[in-house]
Chains A and B, each alone.
Chain A
């Protein structure tokens, strides 16, 4: 038996020093293979007297277990070495720049329209639309602009060449014709906002020949001037995300509303920076008023029964006040780098639950 023991000791030493998987397999076969040391020893047990067999058998099994454990351990070590070598072989220079998935940005005009829509959604408004090329009749006459009146001339209208003979066509100077379109299409009660492109023949530092407005219209049997003030002050607080927004409703004139008002917002100018909500100064933000009876008539309704208010917001102005882009003209320069700087991530959908401002 001592002969086996010394063979096992030699095998264990060999296993310990094996340096690759192939030689380890040789040692496994030499120990546990069909003609291996342990297998043969176990086979020879048959010729051993019964009284010795038990003890010898136990010894052989102990050798077997020791060899198995040594083989497994060495196998694990060799496998780990092999994996390490493989990994080193797979080395990657992670300092190389990764290629990002580009994400475009949205134009501030889109953001403001979505913000304003989210606020008026809570008050039950729908979105109405109208075309950019509008008849003179809908842009002016239906809105109670008298012919040859200075109010009409103040609009600096673009006229279309080749208008049909029976009606002069213009580029709409405001989104207000949508009031009449919506009333004719929907009747009352109605609550709508109408965002869109508008045009005036004016081009300088603070005027662009194309700009955007959002019209608002509420017509039913009850809505009055106090509602107009309430609705717009609710809007301003939600839009500027400030509970205390000083507002000033000041009498003004629009042919299509009476009484008419312009709304100023309290602000201050601190070292070139505009702060909304301060009380140092006033800045005009919108025009509004009770819809003129003649406009309600143009919309096909009886002004003795129906009444309500309308307002017009300048989208660029709202954007400039809230987000501080300084130059109106660059809104329409079409420069993607401007959008990347002043724009909004498409996943930041403005909602009242998440907040409007990203």
Chain B
């Protein structure tokens, strides 16, 4: 909502300065977004005379002007305007000042070899209009050296406030003035509208169709016989221009002016273009369409409320008029409409058709039900004043609005919510300033009837807000919350604590945390999930149509970009949700996903594979260990986006806890990775929701177990077929004697084309007595027997 200060002063009697006024607006909830104060902006611009004019010797389209500011030596300005000439009065600005349209600081400069010490300006450069065909041409009697703002009388700042959606009443000068008056910086002037007597019977009458009564509760109208439809008077045009509206004709401008002045939308029909003598409020018939004033044609549905004449629709109720009945320069008979439309009905049609209009803006925020009569009388006065002629009687349909219901307000309740105590006299005074009717039912309770312009006030708490808003939020003290009673309670629960720990552990492992959007396109969704994934019905673009099945989606996209950009090794992770669609509902799961790509160039890495699947297997294992899972089972069962021969899953029973490995080469291609030969992407996904529930153990720890006897190690080397999972033998060996065998390390692998030799170091920890060579020999034999029984391995 934008308004020039002078317009506000039509309604508000106040001598508050601009700063006070703006601060007050913001502090009553009408946030000032911008103030355009020409007096400030245009202060350095002065009236100047071109006393000498010649063509620039080295440029055809430039001229050399000697500019006089009334006194002092003339100033040389190089000017490019085609209309510059000797004796011309224009507007000059000296170096060191800012040109409003560009925001650029003006400096003295040489243009094609000649010094230029300032600038002669166009209207556009001063942001007065779009005019830029030449510099401003002022009348010959304009006094040189006079400040341009004083000469032009540009003293009217334009204020722009952000309206919250509950304050439809402040979509008008009068509503804003009423709030400011309530806040104590002026008084609301009475709105005096001269009466126009009825001279004839209206040519049109109203009807509200059955079923439309709830959507248009009341409508009023008046016919006019006018002398012509000239341009609106200058003062009205200036005000409309100041708020960004283009003047059209007196009739149209009057309805726009009243919409902004008192918040009452109106519409004018050219009565000669209407068919029949009845205008009906009804829902559109299927297949009807309407060419509207904005030049667009709309197909209407039976959900759209319209105004129809004898032949069809002539207006979209509360949104925009039809082109077929609009007023133009030839209009001589006018019919004026003012109605109360249902906010939801207007909002739905407006939204569906995508029409933003000043009328819709106000109706969907609710318009004062009692403003029809005032609006018609206001418009009548202006129409007769601007267009001449006479007016008819008023015609009505529908029912007068019910009186506004009174709301009880408990004085104690105010203090209980606000945290400060106001006397009932203070509360009554504020409410009355806001236009409420207040009856003190007792010392403890008021009965408050809000003005019909404030349909947003419906509850006791609305009243409390109103009083507090006008009293000033600033005047409420800040009181710290009392200390919590439950001192033992933790802020994070065990599951949240564990997520935090995993996040820090993965970063410690050398992975950078990134966050990607939750959206992917259908192709990515299908590549990374065997299940269907949720789809957005109104996606923002074709790349963001679905929710990602796993955070891996974003990691892969980002890694492809980042690797392409920098060609450097990458290690990154993300903890976040992934989604799939299941039969009943969409399911959200939490993942920790990570990706490693490339090896840091370093002489010690020269012969290493680097970020092979073992690096990401380690990432999974450190996280699982953190969650208390030391020995997950490895299975070669992975989702299809993994490389089938270079990946694995870590399981607890039947539940997968994590997948790790290389990305499937086909998907590597699809994501557009440009990798050197032999470089692969290693990645992991940890399914955090599958982990056993996190617990906080409050028990103290058992005593540390110390062994007096020295452990013994024995190395065993087995020959294994190439496709056998050698890591699994660690579990087999441990299981031989869980008490004595404290550790099994796989410390060497040698393979040729047919067979692999794998060496295991078994650590044996005696507990009570030293083991003899015979004991150790027996244990080793037992290990060999077990291994050979449970696997195709043979001792070497």
Contacts and interface: CB of A to CB of B under 8 A. Distances in A.
Query: In the complex, which of the residues A153, A260, A334 has the most CB atoms of chain B within 10 Å of its own CB atom?
Result: A334
Interface in A128-170: 129, 131-133, 147-151, 153-154, 158-162, 164, 169
A109 B517 CA distance: 13
A104 B575 CA distance: 14
Contact of A131 (B31, B417, B558, B588): B588
Interface in B480-496: 480-481, 483-486, 489-493, 496
B516 interface: yes
Interface in A89-140: 96-97, 99, 101-107, 109-110, 114, 117, 120-121, 123-127, 129, 131-133
A132 B588 contact: yes
B561 to A, nearest CB: 7
Contact of B347 (A149, A209, A226): A149
A123 B480 CA distance: 9
B512 A227 contact: no
Interface stretch (A50-58, A64-72, A250-258): A250-258
B147 to A, nearest CB: 27
Given A101-B510, A250-B473, A106 B491 contact: no
Contacts of B571: 102, 104, 336
B420 A346 contact: no
A217 interface: no
Contact of A203 (B484, B540, B570): B540
B785 interface: no
B252 to A, nearest CB: 25
Contact of B513 (A125, A149, A259, A343): A343
Nearest to B344: A148
Contact of B481 (A96, A107, A223): A223
A160 B535 contact: yes
Interface string B500-515: 1001111111111111
A177 interface: no
A323 interface: no
Interface stretch (B60-68, B577-585, B630-638, B639-647): B577-585
A229 B476 contact: yes
Contacts of B510: 101-104
A292 B574 CA distance: 37
Interface stretch (B197-205, B256-264, B460-468): B460-468
B562 interface: yes
Contacts of A199: 518
Interface stretch (A28-36, A74-82, A230-238): A230-238
Interface in B519-563: 519, 534-541, 544, 547, 554-555, 557-559, 561-562
Q: By CB atoms of chain A within 10 A, which of B26, B166, B489, B600 has the most?
A: B166
A322 interface: no
A158 B506 contact: no
Given A105-B512, A226-B477, A335 B562 contact: yes
Contacts of B8: none
A210 B518 contact: yes
A354 interface: no
A336 B417 contact: no
Contacts of B493: 126-127
Interface in B339-373: 343-344, 347-348, 351, 364-365
Given A104-B512, A162-B535, A230-B479, A224 B579 contact: no
Contacts of A125: 491
A335 B558 contact: yes
Contacts of B536: 158-161, 171
Contact of A226 (B419, B509, B579): B419
B491 A293 contact: no
A114 B500 contact: yes
Contacts of A150: 165, 347, 364-365
Given A197-B577, A259-B469, A340 B512 contact: yes
Contact of B416 (A123, A203, A250, A307): A307
A335 B514 contact: yes
B478 A250 contact: no
Contacts of B573: 104
A333 interface: yes
Contact of A104 (B469, B509, B544, B554): B509
B512 A197 contact: no
Contacts of A346: 503-505, 507-508
A332 B514 CA distance: 7
B603 interface: yes
A337 interface: yes
Contacts of A223: 481
B434 to A, nearest CB: 13
9 A-B pairs closest in CB distance: A124-B484, A334-B558, A226-B419, A251-B29, A253-B164, A102-B510, A224-B419, A346-B507, A259-B465
Interface of B: 26-29, 31, 164-167, 343-344, 347-348, 351, 364-365, 416-420, 459, 461-462, 464-465, 468-469, 473-474, 476-481, 483-486, 489-493, 496, 500, 503-519, 534-541, 544, 547, 554-555, 557-559, 561-562, 566, 570-574, 576-577, 579, 581, 584-586, 588, 600, 602-605
